[in-house]
Structure 1
């Protein structure tokens, strides 16, 4: 990877089952196991799927006309495979967008279907990565030591 292509976050434990996800720009998202309002890892994955395509669609359509509604619903079924592995299936990203009447709204509305397809097929890094089934490496940074 080149320096300009790498993306990263850090996840810091704040207490049992509670974590803060930090990006290099200083943003923080609370992460948890689903016992409170904190986002779960699965919810963040769904948000990444919808957010990635949503940004693609929004940045182009809003140049044509300001939306009156821009909502993205993302869902999937958490299943356990016959081998006992947890995974998501039936992933769906639904766009619910509306633009005002008139020429600007008509121009924005007309390009939404093409932008959704283009984001899915080519632009959205998250969707492209999930659909490609990119391998994930996990490893320990250093030996874990116990206090004596």
Structure 2
């Protein structure tokens, strides 16, 4: 697939256990193994899950009332077992506050359903994790 459906980033080694990701818009993000302040790949996975869900939910509830607070805290435990290294006990905690009044109450009432829709259908990252997509690998000797 390509065209309007394609999403891509480039990853370039900048040093031992350090890489720079660049998106198609030219924005960069440094990634490391946890020995520096850079984000680790696992942290970026948690960011992607929380970010995708928040970006999906926010406009749905903000149509009713603009949130006064909208924070998402994401955590998981990294383990190694017979399946290899992976994350378990993923949790996204939404700390959301809406203004008092009817609009705030409507937004507050919609929030659980909006989160469920994001997780079940709308958030690409959550859906990809749930489905268990496999990434193909190509190796080019340059």
TM-score per shorter chain, which class? over 0.9
Secondary structure of the 1:64 match is: coil
Quick check: which has more Rg, 1 or 2? Answer: 1
Q: Which residue of 1 aligns with 2:8?
A: 8
- The ranges of structure 1 where at least 4 consecutive aligned residues each deviate by more than 2 angstroms after the TM superposition are none
CA distance in 2 between counterparts of 1:99 and 1:18 reads 40
| Aligned length in residues | 142
CA distance in 1 between counterparts of 2:59 and 2:10 reads 28
Structure 2, unpaired ranges of 5+: none
Query: 1:63 Cα shift?
Result: 2.1
- Tell me the TM-score normalised to structure 1 length: 0.90
Q: Which residue of 2 aligns with 1:50?
A: 50
> Cα deviations across residues 62-89 of structure 1 (Å, max 9, x unaligned)?
2221111111011111010125x11111
What is the RMSD of the two structures over their aligned residues, measured on CA atoms?
A: 1.3
Q: Which residue of 1 aligns with 2:80?
A: 80
Task: Write out aligned runs for 1:1-148 (5 A).
Answer: 1-82=1-82, 85-140=84-139, 142-143=140-141
CA distance in 2 between counterparts of 1:53 and 1:82 reads 30
Structure 1, unpaired ranges of 5+: none
CA distance in 1 between counterparts of 2:43 and 2:37 reads 11
